[in-house]
Every structure is written in C-alpha cells, then in structure tokens.
Amino acid sequence: MDHAADAHRTDLMTITRYVLNEQSRHPESRGDFSILLSHIVLGCKFVCSAVNKAGLAKLIGLAGETNIQGEEQKKLDVLSNEVFVKALVSSGRTCILVSEEDEEATFVDPTLRGRYCVVFDPLDGSSNIDCGVSIGTIFGIYMAQDKDKASLDDVLQPGKNMLAAGYCMYGSSCAFVLSTGNGVNGFTLDPSLGEFILTHPDIKIPKKGKIYSVNEGNAKNWDGPTEKYVEKCKFPKDGSPSKSLRYVGSMVADVHRTLLYGGIFLYPADKKSPNGKLRVLYEVFPMSFLMEQAGGQAFTGKERALDLVPSKIHERSPIFLGSYDDVEEIKALYADEIKA
Ligand SMILES: O=P(O)(O)OC[C@H]1O[C@](O)(COP(=O)(O)O)[C@@H](O)[C@@H]1O
Ligand SMILES: [Mg+2]
Ligand SMILES: [Mg+2]
C-alpha cells in the first residue's frame, strides 16, 4: 500500500475516529466507553498477531487443561483469554468479566473498576486453529447498575439490554465488526498501518439469502422443524432454487459470511444436546444483536433470541439467525409444530 497517498485520503475512517465520532453524539459522555473499546481493539490486534504466527511460535496444539465446558483448551484459547482479561481489567472501565474459558465470572478489583460488564469468547472456533482456518473473538457489553455493588444479575440480562456487541475474525483478512446499537459497521485491519479501517459501513443483511449453514452431521438427532427446514433448503417445493450449504465450524466465520452474503446459520437443539451447543451470553447474544442491527432476525426455536433471560453464565441455547425472510420460515415451522 502507498502510505504517502494514504495520508492525503479524506475517506480514511479509522476505528479510533469512528468511536470518537460516536462518542460526540452523546455530549454527556465521559469517554469511558471509547476507552473500553480501544482496549478490546488492542486485545484483538494482539490475538490476531498471535494467530498469524501460531505455527511459527509453537502456539498450535493443546494447552493440557479442560475448561468448564468440558472442552480441551488449546494454547491459543488460554493465551487469548489472558490477553483479553488483561486488556479489559487494565482499561479501568470494567467491573465484571465473563469468559468462555473461566468457570466463574471475574469481579474486577474495586480500585480498577468501571461501569461496564464484558462477556466474551476469547477464541471462537478452536477446532480450526491447527489447520489455519478462520477463527475469532466475540464480545458483548452491558452496563452495571452500580459498579461498587456489581453482581451476576448485571450480566444475567436479556441480550436486548446489551449496549454493544461485536466480533473480530482472524481470517484471510482481520475483520472487526461492531454495533453500538446504531447499525453495524465493519473494519479491516491494515497490517502495515496497524489500524482498523472502516471498509463495510452500515452493513445490512440481504432480506433473503441463498446459503444455509449447519452441521449436517447432527441431522439424525434433529427435531421436526429443523429437519423440515433443511429439507426445504435442499428440495424447495415452490420452484425456487435450492440453497447452497456452507459450514466452516467457527461461528464467527459462519456468521460473518451470513451477515455479508445473506442466508441462515443454524445451531439447533438435538436429541443429544437439548439446549444446542452455543453459549447464550458470549456467542448467541452478541451475534443476535448484530443480526438485528443489520436488519436480520435471531430466533431460539421458542422466542426472539434477545428476549431470552439467562439464569447461568455458561447457559446454552439453540439458535437460528440470519436474513429476515429465511428466519421467518423457520419461525413458521416451529409455530406449526406448536399448533399440531
Ligand atoms: O463442531 P460443531 O459441533 O459443528 O460446532 C461448531 C461450533 O462450535 C464452536 O466452535 C464453539 O466455539 P469455541 O471454539 O469457542 O468453543 C462455534 O464456533 C461453532 O459454531
Ligand atoms: Mg465459540
Ligand atoms: Mg472459544
């Protein structure tokens, strides 16, 4: 890239400038939220750099521990968790952290506390680390009632109460996608500048898509509506073309594609996992928040995903999210089942 030419570009919107612009829309703001976001962005840059050199720096493979989910932790899971915990605590703007990798929530030392609660999956798609396929970080932000009296009630809140949500995808490029409740914007890391640049302003998901994304290996255990829906994607009876199947197995990558190209991502309940696999606080809610902000929908099989009230920090839920019309179809199949 020609940096000299870059300096004269007037359209170069960095994430730093974007966040400051957002801040100026709230004249009462003291800049705490901007500082918190800058620490999340720093954590993402750090993890991106570690992911890029994982094979060279002996960062692939297992860490030798099992997390609360009963999953074997990879070295990069552990490293990413440490990076985000440090980045968030040192921001001085957080009071509670909930990470996929930590059994208990972290209550930040009172001397370092701020008003925000951050729920996060430090490294999503761990099974794809060792083969270099896209992985990511997912986060959601709530505000505590009172930082000094912060309790789990501050995070066991429906997703619609989140102030912001986003993810960073470590893929063929490093993409940071953010919503502060005012639409969705996508930034791409320019590795030579070390800055995220706004490349996907005001993302809107297509109303209907041509792709469905699901782990079909679980099909024998699906419930009726999911089975019918996937059958319809493959063999539509109304003369419309079949949908294509795409499934990476990293939620970040599957949702990123769904957001940009349209379609639907499903991780349904099945006979073996009646609550599905994905975790409500740091996978289902942030992605559902982004989908709604981009004009799509997110549904649990029972209700709007963002209305769900979690009762445990590592709770799971089935999830169907994506283009408005595609999610509408699966909602109709679940409604038919209730009537029958
Ligand atoms: O291998 P499966 O059962 O299809 O599950 C894939 C899902 O599991 C996850 O990898 C879980 O995330 P983690 O790697 O953070 O545990 C999602 O990213 C993905 O959507
Ligand atoms: Mg995950
Ligand atoms: Mg993870």
pLDDT digits (tens, 9 = 90+) for 280-297: 999 999 999 999 999 999
Q: Does one domain contain both 12 and 56?
A: yes
**Whether the CB of 270 sits within 6 Å of ligand 1:** no
Pairing state between β 244-245 and 211-213: parallel
Q: Do 171 and 138 lie in a common domain?
A: yes
Domain boundary at 200, 224, 249, which?
200
Position 340 confidence tier, pLDDT thresholds 50, 70, 90: confident
Domain presence at residue 206:
no
Choose one of 250, 265, 275 to mutate for the ligand 1 pocket test, by most ligand atoms within 8 angstroms of C-beta.
250
Q: Are residues 15 and 36 in the same domain?
A: yes
Residue 59 is predicted with a pLDDT of: 75
Nearest CA to ligand 1 atom 9: 125
Domain containing 327 — which CATH number? Answer: 3.40.190.80
More confident site: 288 or 9:
288
Residue identified by tokens 């890391």 is 189
Distance separating alpha carbons of residues 31 and 114, to the nearest angstrom: 12
Q: What percent of the chain has pLDDT over 70?
A: 97
Query: What number is the average pLDDT over the span 148-174?
Result: 97
What pLDDT sits at residue 285? 98
Q: Please, which pLDDT band fits residue 1 given cuts at 50, 70 and 90?
A: very low
What is the rounded average pLDDT of the residues 121-134? Answer: 94
> Domain of 287?
211-339
Q: Quick one: pLDDT band at residue 168, thresholds 50, 70, 90?
A: very high
ipTM: 0.98
Residue 205 lies in a domain: no
pLDDT the model gives residue 6: 47
CATH number (domain holding residue 118): 3.30.540.10
- Residue 235 pLDDT more than 80? yes
Domain's final residue, options 180, 200, 220: 200
How many angstroms separate the alpha carbon of residue 277 from the centre of ligand 1? 8
* Residue 14 within a domain: yes
Task: Tell whether 122 is covered by a domain.
Answer: yes
pLDDT, mean of residues 211-232 = 97
Residues contacting residue 27 through CB under 8 Å, at least 6 positions apart: none
For residues 296 and 263, the answer to whether their CB atoms sit within 8 Å is: no
- Which atom belonging to ligand 1 lies closest to the Cα atom of 123? 15
Residue 238 and residue 106 in one domain: no
Examine the pLDDT at 276 and tell me if it is beyond 90. yes
261 close to 206: Cβ distance less than 8 angstroms:
yes
Instruction: Report helix, strand and coil shares of the chain as percent, to nearest 5.
Output: 40, 25, 40
Q: Between these two residues, 10 and 21, which has the higher pLDDT value?
A: 21
Give the integer Cα–Cα distance in Å for 311 and 332: 27
Q: How far is the CA of 335 from the centre of ligand 3 (A)?
A: 32
- Name residues whose C-beta falls within 8 Å of residue 103's C-beta, 6 or more positions apart in sequence: 67, 68, 314
C-alpha 62 to ligand 3 mean position (Å): 13
Looking at 200, 229, 248, which one is the last position of a domain?
200
Residue 145 lies in a domain: yes
For residue range 298-336, list pLDDT tens digits in order.
999 999 999 999 999 999 999 999 999 999 999 999 998
Rounded Cα distance between 44 and 80, Å, is: 9
Q: Note the pTM of the prediction, 2 decimals.
A: 0.94
Mean pLDDT of the chain: 93
pLDDT in the model for residue 72: 76
Inform me whether the pLDDT recorded for 236 exceeds 70. yes
Q: What pLDDT was estimated at residue 3? A: 47
Residue 2 has pLDDT above 70, yes or no: no
124 lines ligand 1 (CB under 6 A): yes
Say if residue 303 is in the same domain as residue 325: yes
In a shared domain, residues 255 and 282: yes
User: pLDDT at position 7, please?
Assistant: 46
